[in-house]
A and B are shown apart, each in its own frame.
Chain A
Amino acid sequence: MSILLEANDISISFGGIHAVQNLSFQVKKGEVLGFIGPNGAGKSTCINLITGVYMPDTGSITFDGVKLTEKHTIRERVHMGMGRTFQTPRPFGNMTVYDNIFTVALQQNSFAAAHEKTKEVLKLTEMEHWADVASAKLPIEMRKWLDLARILANDPKFIMMDEVMAGLNPNEMENSFALIERLNQAGITILFIEHVLRAVVRVCSRVIVINEGRFLAEGEPREVLDRPEVIEAYIGGKRS
């Protein structure tokens, strides 16, 4: 498998907080890579570094063979094929579910094609019966799906999901797993950020663990989660 994204020795600090330190990892084309770590480990910050919200203090990120610089704005990276969800979903609350997706679809399509694209996305995410609902009135798990659906309207190569399972009940989680599998089968590479370990084992082919902004472990999910240093990071957080 070829490499889609490579982070090479990236670091960023906010004031005195070293949110990410000398982190290197690779995402292979077509995989679902789990990215886990306790709260405050620097997972969301990594997404922000990859998407261009922040620039790393040191190190570099390469996406699809292109080394990303300050010239690659958030917007440009989106049009290179990146998509991300937010830890707290952010629908366009003044629009229906349909228009949320349609607006994004308009970027790469004519009006007629955007309508087709919207219907296609609604079908893929099984959100057809929510289409005319005001997005501000959606229940939380549907908001998370809407975040995903909107990204899909851009035909991304790579999606970063920031804790999409948090706050879902087992049934809703099961539906989300199925959706992620469908997306992956459609050829989309996924960086699956999660706090819930069970979820990672269920959908990821490989997992990376970070703690306090640093690389901790990497490997097959079940095996990695059994490693003492990973258990310790999660339970105690008193490594020293």
Chain B
Amino acid sequence: MKTEQKKKWIHQVLPLSCIAIVILLLPFGIQSNYIITVAVTCFLFSCFGVCWNMISGYGGQISWCHAVFVSIGAYTTILMNNLAGWSPFIAIPVSMILSFIISTVIGKISFRYRGPFFSITTIAFAEIVRVLLLNFRDFTGGSAGITRPYIGASFWNLMFENDTPFYYISFVLMVGVVYITYRFEKSKTGYYLKAIKGDEDAAISLGIDTSRIKLTAFQLSAVLTAVIGVFYGAFINYVQPNTICGMDFSVQIGSVVIVGGLGTVWGSMIGAFILIPLIELANILLGAQGGAQLLYGLALIFVVIAQPRGVIYLFSKENRDRIAQKLGKGAKKTSEKIREKGREDI
């Protein structure tokens, strides 16, 4: 028991604390606000990924409407600010309720059926919302979008001179959602959800209420995504249906998790820190016209072909064992070769 605790310290607590300290100190060493901005985007996309992973990774129910939940958070924040001067902190409960209602409706309709029905429903729904946002121009600004104007730094308004405060806020958010997912994974619902992904018919035949469990996971995922969406809206200060509520955005969230590793807590973070900088780089090098899309499309194809379980697999114990075995065999082979060669020389 004691050695196990020691192991846990050396393998988990220690490296994690080191990473956390480096992350917390990083802004002091970086002068460029741009790099901080990219880092914030990475943190926030880690959050989106972690939330998406709850239903799509653990439960195997692939959602393509998470952009809608992000939009709910972001639009609520900016609209409340512009129309009434209210703080994003008031937008949080409002968007939680909205996303809860919407996820409940989608879930109730689609989780009764099996297979791709849920995914298709989410795609249809996301398109409907995007078109609605485009058409209610007076309220949403239509395709021109709406901006939240800068009226001076204030924490209550989540408005700052530079992005360093957001760096810390989004880091805390990431730790928060990771903690929630971790607890979720270890909850009864988490176990049932994994069973559903394993074999839904078997889960039903053993008494698990599969539609309720899928619904709960989807609701939690949606509500958390909307909360992060509030901060995302306050961070970018500009929303436009085709970007924040488009299929691209949902796909980007999914890609982050798929690249990092489906159904794992760390996978989403690794994926975000690989994909987001890559996209930024592509935008700089190739221009914002689709270069980024091309790049992460290629990244996705590469991962799916090279390691379908995601980058996180490279760090898994299974992979380490495999490499050790390979190296062991390789070593044996070379030693045998040397021996044989020695014989020849004689």
Contact = CB atoms under 8 A, between A and B. Distances in A.
A90 B202 contact: yes
B274 to A, nearest CB: 24
Nearest to B207: A78
B3 interface: no
A97 B202 CA distance: 14
A209 B203 CA distance: 30
Counting chain A residues whose Cβ lies within 8 A of the other chain, the interface size class is: 20 to 34
A125 interface: no
A125 B197 CA distance: 25
Nearest to A135: B198
Interface string A75-113: 100110001101000111111000110111011000000
A4 to B, nearest CB: 18
A90 B263 CA distance: 21
Contacts, number: 62
Contact of A106 (B188, B198, B202, B203): B188
Q: Which of A91, A100, A103, A150 has the most CB of B within 10 A?
A: A103
A55 B204 CA distance: 16
B114 to A, nearest CB: 13
B199 interface: yes
A91 to B, nearest CB: 7
Interface residues of B, number: 18
A168 B86 CA distance: 70
B208 interface: yes
B206 interface: yes
B199 to A, nearest CB: 5
B201 interface: yes
Given A92-B195, A95-B194, A95-B195, A107 B207 contact: yes
Interface in B114-151: none
A40 B119 CA distance: 36
B208 A93 contact: no
A154 interface: yes
B199 A103 contact: no
A169 B194 CA distance: 33
B231 interface: no
A100 B209 CA distance: 16
Contacts of B199: 90-93
A90 B208 CA distance: 15
* Residue in B197, B198, B206 with the greatest tally of chain A CB atoms within 10 Å: B206
Given A90-B201, A95-B198, A150 B191 contact: no
A92 B202 contact: yes
A103 B195 contact: yes
Interface in B191-230: 191-192, 194-195, 197-199, 201-209
Nearest to B318: A134
Given A90-B199, A91-B199, A94-B197, A106 B191 contact: yes
A91 B191 CA distance: 14
Contacts of A74: 204-205
Interface of B: 188, 191-192, 194-195, 197-199, 201-209, 263
13 contacts: A51-B205, A75-B208, A84-B205, A86-B205, A90-B201, A92-B203, A95-B198, A99-B194, A103-B191, A103-B194, A104-B207, A106-B192, A107-B206
